[in-house]
Structure 1
Amino acid sequence: MFVSYRLPAKEHLKVGPNDLLLTFPSSYLIGKELEATHGKGALWNGDSSRLHVRTAQYRYGWDWGPVLLTTGPWKPVYLEAYNVRIDDLRVSTKVDESLAAVIDVSIVLSSEVSAKASVVLKDVSGKALKTADINISKGKGLTSFEAKAGELELWWPVGYGKQVLHAVDVQIADEGGKPLDSKTQKIGVRRLRIVQDPLEGEEGRSFLFEVNNVRIFCGGSNWIPADSFLTNISDDRYRAWLQLMVDGNQNMIRVWGGGIYEPDVFYDICDELGLLVWQDSMFGCGQYPAYDDYIKRVEIETEQNVKRLRHHPSLAIWAGNNEDYQVAEQLNLGLDYNDEDLNSDFRKTTFPARHIYERVLPSIVNAHSDVFYHRGSPYSGYGKPTTDRTYGDLHQWNVWHGSQEPWHNWDQLSGRFVSEFGMQGYPDIRTVDYWVGDNKAERYPQSRTMNNHNKADGFERRLELYLMENFKHAFDIESYVYYTQVMQAETLASAYRLWRRNWRGKGKEYTAGALVWQINDCWPVTSWAIVDYFLRPKPAYFSIKRELRPFTVGMTRKEVITNSPNHPNTRVHFTSDYSLEIWGTNSTLEEKTVILDVKTFDLNASDISKVLVYEMPQKEVKLAANASTELLKGSLVEFGQPLRTKQSDVPRTLIVSARLLDRDGTVLARYANWCVLFGLRSLGPPRSC
């Protein structure tokens, strides 16, 4: 499915109308035959035969998607006539630390002929900036352009500068000057590195993205195919999805390894909008085989797609798979992470696909592109398991899956780069009514129809666990939909808020990014998506948008129990206090002076005059550039919370409000920290967003 096929047609063509007939066997049955021959691999999601078939793995069913095994051509079919064509055009942009650039242009023709090539580097308006005329010998030609620092405008991720795109235009002619072929490739001039440096005061190394010498906190989303039937996705629909991300203050999208290498238009739009792309190879949640025929298919697929995508400035990293190392770890296959062992034949081990991820893919990615290769996602390296929080990237699923931690513990679940985490929430009530249709008897949370539109194992208990821990909620469908949405919004906002705090400046980038699972759905469903199939944002979309603004403010309060020094051997005598910590974040590249405004309110005050409990005198504070800044640390007693000396004492129900104001009074950021779980207070009537 991931390979383009070019077949000679001339001998089959006739004058007048011609028909093209394509016949396809069942990929499912072929997968079963291959599995019977080569063995069954372990996996999460779908039928195990999918591991032998190079097709979009999500079609076999996932914990958010249906089983819909489509077949047939899913991209356009062309009839092309030529004598000589450009078979491969590689434009390699190398930018050094001074931001001077060298642009190498390599041309390979379809036959070993001699020809002439005119190569022009153009700016966004089409103006020629640099030109070169070269002779092509035996079908190959090479030229380079050099540019001093500042000579060419740079491409930046959204929020950090312009998304300037240049074009390299190539015209091929025979030795007599007759045109043969032409090709134009858009590029962006930028320096992009993945930095894995030691950190101050903590074990491990950073895992961060640096563009044009600027280190960037990556806040974004995971992307799955936007439809179960790929031919339904128009260019306009792609643009609408990706524009939603930019409008939501996100700057990175991860193309997940169980879907597809997206079409060119997807990456073109990412280039235009400034969205960094984390690209997985299409291996997901399984122990894939590595027999010879399979490897040959993987090699062709990888080379074609690397060559097709490598020129995009948005393409920031290429990862070998999604969670395949994690599957192997959890199945106790006896992995040996010896990064120095370059000679092992992994095909003879219990994890044969390591040959793909550690031999085949890096050799192709490194040979045909300048893109950073990462063995998998998650992957830690350095002999560490994929659950390690101090190296590489992390999929943090101990909220919802795993140990099912309270979402308030995200600060204890951080990683160097959290490339997956999430919480489910129902879609817009209009989307729910779409799948219920006229069958109103099914319009309640536990109905068969509702259950069929949630593919996650154990979702009934997990939704209820988090709902009952945090909310009063009713079981009419409007309320249920609303409360799950609020829960999802609060959960995800909390993660971004706490993890942005860990972006503390150079050498202290303890968490360098967070990509929520997921931005989109492939059908109308209850899932982890923050925007539903019909492009209707859930409340979580907006809460994340707020936490990814250039300036934010965050807060934690935690109970501190101190036993009496006069009674060290009993828990009867103690005091209970709450520590309060407030910080601000600034993603701009300049220090910012703001005003910190903190107030406390009593949620259960007897009358309106007693709601405001304490108002801290406003004070000016400085937010460090491109970092978080600690602003306040103290006891909640100072803000009106009495000390407790008995467990039976009910804490005062204080809400602490923090705002960051510009000097003219404009609110730059705000956050209200609730004293208790939402279950102790009604949130009011449900509403649709």
Structure 2
Amino acid sequence: MMAPLLMAALLSLNGSWRLDCFPQPDEAAVRTLPLPSGLDVRTVPAEVPGNCEMDLVRAGVLPPPEIGLNARAFRSCEGYQWLYTKTFEAPNLPSGGRALLVFDGIDTLADIFMNGEKIGEADNMFIPHRFDITPKMRRGTNTLQVLLRSVLLDAKTKTLGELGWTMCGGAEGEPYRKAGHMGGWDIFPRLFVSGLWRDVRLELQGPVRIDQTSWIVKSIDRSARRAELVGSCRIDMPFAELDKARVTVGLRRDGKPAARQTFPARHFQQAFRLSVADAEFWWPRGFGEPALYEAFVEVAGSDGACLARRTERIGLRTVELVRDDVYGKERPGQFLFKVNGEPVFIRGANWVPTDAIPSRQKDRLIETLEMFRDLNCNMIRVWGGGVYEPEAFFDWCDANGVLVWQDFMTGCSMFPFDPDYQRRTRVEALETVLAFRNHPSLALWSGNNENDVAPRWRLGGAKTILWDPGRDVTSRVTLPAVVREFDATRPYLPSSPYLSPDVVAGLAKPSENHLWGARAYYKTDYYTNSPCWFASEMGYHGCPNRESLERMMTKDNVYPWTKVTGTDPWKDYHWNEEWQFKASDPWLDGFGFRRNSLMTNQLKIMFGAVPTDLDDFILASQIVQAEAMKTFVELFRSLKFTRKNGLIWWNMRDGWPQISDAVVDWYGGKKRAYRTIRNVQRDQLVMVRDDRRVVAVNDTLEPVAGKATVTDRASGKTLLETAYTVPANGTREIGTVDWSGQGMLDIVYEQAGEKQANWFLYGEPPFDFKEVAEWMK
């Protein structure tokens, strides 16, 4: 007899599969096997995890989609069906054990077959799908098949709500749990692909299993260094073991016991409490160590032998969101995160999928996360048009003290209210909450991205609310019910931005907002005097480096314009098709023209003219983006806790080779804004504001002392030289400076023997491009 499995043994089914593809019949999708005769079937080798279309690229059927207009060729596959086939040898199972077939990601509509017999279906690309195949698995060789059908063709049978809409005009994705960006977005191409996009495996489980653990930090006492926890777990074991088996729960820190409790296994659903003395708390970046504990649950038999074990890493911390709408001076509003009772000013950036081809996203995961650490971000917002990132994402954030704002996966539309859609949403939410609720980095669940405001885009403009988002079933009923029941201590925000009943009624304004506006001059009143306390999106366009342009465009289309007929930045710079396509315009109907013209308009405002030499255009665009992002970050930080509590700027890295407002392109090329943001997101910073105040900010829990000098670049005149102190987690005005005309101020400050530098570009545009470029060296 095999020894009992303490934890599930994993048998990977990744690697080489066979892929059959064929146009889906117009009358109905094929849902049974074997395939009927008469289909136009093509067979190619497939890689899993993978996407079907990329298997066709490897077979030479489709071109590489990253270059030029090639991604348009993928449109022909949107009406295909795909049949994956894999054989494997049945493993030995322990007595009383079972074999689970697990797909971590199926995109999207699928029928699953084992040895020719249907064993299940899938209709959600975001979550794992599990099938108990213990009674279906044969000795020896088994054949596993997954038959995918077209979401696009399935959608033609649906009845769409009046306000369902996506960025690129269609709405075929709304009834389905499929990543929103795949239908086309203003930051993504249209790549409506399919596939087994995450791992496939067998999980061999013993007769005793532990899952659905919950570790809730009930309270902490920072001065006494104590923490109180309540927890629970589910134990799946034979009824005969109840009362005989014993459960041990506990925590270890660096291998040393921190808390432990043993009790009889009287329940399949077991609750417990733990007290931790000499506790080391989990802190976000800048506040201290993100201390992690090993949390464990063990089940032992009556003879003391371990029957099952589960371990994971947790942190001892509390998190809360203090939120109120903005009503005016009498009730100014609030949007403030607190960790362990300490207010946290958020220095964050938005996260979008690292690749428009979902199966490749894992390849850029860690290197992209390292960029957040390099820029000293203390929060990542996972945008709702993408996917839920894997466990490795949260593990990294836990270990590096980076908080996570997690959107549920819908955005920029109104999604179905019908019971079947809500059922699928609840299943997805429950799976996701149970998977990630024990991660200390997870700070907030947000119901969606911009769904509250999206109906206004169709019904009458940004200032007219003709539809009450409070009626939305998904964000007001289904999702909060899951969070309240299964993650009771973590904040939930219905939407980002959230339009409360008072905001809808015109009695208040949102305390958290997405600050996009006309995207004209970055110091307009829209940006500098927004009533919100917190911006979770705010960005500015910047052209990629020439090296990246030369990789994403064909040789004859690297230069952006077919002709320049005047000086109007919106009309007279005629973008070639590849530049339009790379501005997320899948249909080449003018959307990309307008997106790219944001850059020409911004350059016309800043420099009075648009450079037509490509290298000058790239440099000018990147300078303007860098100055805009610097202005946004410094504006919010200088008003820390008095009028602003955080900025999650848009965005760190592109998910595709494109023209955008990211500060790092898909290839990893860093724009000037990347280095600029790194400089102004230090824990301590000295900055100059447009109102001539010099402000020092300290985002640590210790007071700091330093000295600062502000000098005019052109004249060499010292405008301020002063010593200063800044309280813990605070700000201080340390002086004022004066100027006239246009120029650059050099700011040098020294703290704890470490010298840092900053700058301030003063004056009103237009500036002389060559002069500014020289200053920026």
- Provide TM-score, normalisation by structure 1: 0.83
Q: Cα distance, 1:419 vs. partner?
A: 0.3
Q: Indicate the residue corresponding to 1:580 in structure 2.
A: 692
Structure 1 residue 547 corresponds to structure 2 residue 673: no
**Alignment correspondent of 1:85:** 209
Matched with 1:571 is: none
The residue correspondences of 1:438-517 to structure 2 (distance < 5 A) are 439-440=555-556, 442-445=558-561, 446-455=575-584, 457=591, 458-471=594-607, 472-504=609-641, 508=642, 510-517=643-650
Please say if residues 425 and 487 of structure 1, whose CA atoms lie closer than 8 Å, have aligned partners that are also in contact: yes
Determine whether 1:594 maps to 2:706: yes
Q: Retained in 1: the 8 A contact 2:502–2:508?
A: no
1:231-246 to 2 correspondences below 5 Å: 231-234=359-362, 237-246=364-373
Q: Contact between 1:425 and 1:485, CA under 8 Å: does it hold in 2?
A: yes
- The normalised TM-score by structure 2 is 0.74
For 1:290-329, what aligned pairs fall within 5 Å after superposition? 290-329=417-456
1:631 aligns with 2:740: no
Q: Which amino acid aligns with 2:709?
A: D
Query: Where does 1:248-647 land on structure 2 (aligned, <5 Å)?
Result: 248-332=375-459, 354-369=472-487, 370-381=489-500, 383-385=502-504, 391-400=510-519, 404-407=520-523, 409=525, 410-413=527-530, 415-437=532-554, 439-440=555-556, 442-445=558-561, 446-455=575-584, 457=591, 458-471=594-607, 472-504=609-641, 508=642, 510-557=643-690, 580-602=692-714, 611-612=715-716, 614-616=717-719, 618-633=721-736, 636=738, 641=740
Structure 1 residues 111-126: aligned runs within 5 Å: 113=239, 114-115=241-242, 116-126=245-255
Quote the Cα distance in structure 2 between the aligned partners of 1:443 and 1:334: 35
> Would the alpha carbon gap of residues 117 and 105 (structure 1) be closer, same or farther in structure 2, given more than 3 Å must change?
farther
1:189 equivalent in structure 2: 316
Query: Cα deviation per residue 1:83-108 (whole Å; 9 max; x = unaligned)?
Result: 34224222222224556322223121
| Deviates most, 22-31 or 178-187 | 178-187
- CA distance, structure 2, for counterparts of residue 57 and residue 394 of structure 1: 21
Match of 1:656 in 2: 745
Tell me if structure 2 keeps the 8 A contact 1:399–1:407.
no
Alpha-carbon shift at residue 673 of structure 1 (Å): 2.8
Alignment of 1:45-194 (within 5 A): 45=168, 47-82=170-205, 83-96=207-220, 98=222, 100-110=226-236, 113=239, 114-115=241-242, 116-148=245-277, 151-175=278-302, 177=304, 179-194=306-321
C-alpha distance in 2 between matches for 1:46 and 1:22: 31
> How much does 1:232 deviate?
1.5
Aligned residue in 2 for 1:343: none
SS at match of 1:383: helix
Would the alpha carbon gap of residues 201 and 257 (structure 1) be closer, same or farther in structure 2, given more than 3 Å must change?
same
Partners of 1:659 and 1:390 lie apart in 2 by: 39
Specify the alignment match of 1:227 in structure 2: 355
- Structure-2 change in CA distance of 1:117 and 1:373 (3 Å): farther
Cα 1:616–1:444, aligned 2, differ >3 Å: closer, same or farther? closer
Write the distance in 2 (CA, Å) between the matches of 1:625 and 1:201.
27
SS in 1 for 2:697: strand
For residue 128 of structure 2, what is the amino acid of its counterpart? S
Taking the aligned partners of 2:376 and 2:172, their CA distance within structure 1 comes to: 40
CA contact (8 A) 1:107 1:140 kept: yes
2:596–2:659 contact (8 Å) kept in structure 1: no
| 1:27 equivalent in structure 2 | 151
Gaps of 5+ in 1: 338-348, 558-578, 603-610, 642-651
Q: Is the 8 A contact 2:694 2:733 kept in 1?
A: yes
Q: Secondary structure at the match of 1:324?
A: coil
Displacement, 1:683? 4.5
Mapped partners of 2:316, 2:635: distance in 1: 33
Query: Per-residue deviation at 1:467?
Result: 0.6
Structure 2 partner of 1:648: none
SS, match of residue 480 in structure 2: helix
- Aligned-pair CA distance for 1:515: 0.7
Secondary structure class of the residue paired with 1:204: coil
- Structure 1 residues 213 and 685: alpha-carbon distance in aligned structure 2, compared to 1, 3 A threshold: closer
Whole-Å separation in 2 of the counterparts to 1:663 and 1:24: 61
Instruction: Evaluate the alpha carbon distance shift between residue 685 and residue 554 of structure 1 in structure 2; reply closer, same or farther with a 3 A threshold.
Output: closer
Aligned-partner Cα distance in 1 for 2:644–2:679 = 19
* 2-structure distance, mates of 1:152, 1:230: 40
Q: Deviations over 1:22-48 (max 9, x none)?
A: 111112222332236x66624444521
Q: Provide the alpha-carbon RMSD of the alignment.
A: 3.1
Letter in 2 for 1:162: E
Q: Is the 8 A contact 1:553 1:671 kept in 2?
A: no
1:14 corresponding residue in structure 2: 138
Specify the SS of the correspondent of 1:266: helix
- For 1:32, the aligned partner's letter is K
Identity of aligned residues (%): 25
Secondary structure of 2:763's counterpart equals coil
Q: Which amino acid aligns with 1:251?
A: N
Deviation at 1:201, TM superposition (A): 5.7
For the 8 Å contact 1:399–1:422, the answer to whether it is kept is: no
The letter of the residue matching 2:770 is S
Q: Shift of residue 380 of structure 1?
A: 4.9
Q: Which residue number in structure 1 is paired with residue 36 of structure 2?
A: none
User: Against the structure 1 CA distance between its residues 375 and 169, is the aligned structure 2 distance closer, same or farther, given a 3 Å change threshold?
Assistant: same
**Displacement of 1:10 after TM fit?**
2.3
The whole-number CA distance in structure 2 between the counterparts of 1:162 and 1:309 is: 21
Alpha-carbon shift at residue 317 of structure 1 (Å): 0.5
Q: Distance in 1 between matches of 2:460 and 2:424?
A: 25
- Distance in 2 (alpha carbons) for counterparts of 1:501 and 1:160: 19
Deviation at 1:268, TM superposition (A): 0.7
Secondary structure in 1 aligned to 2:687? strand
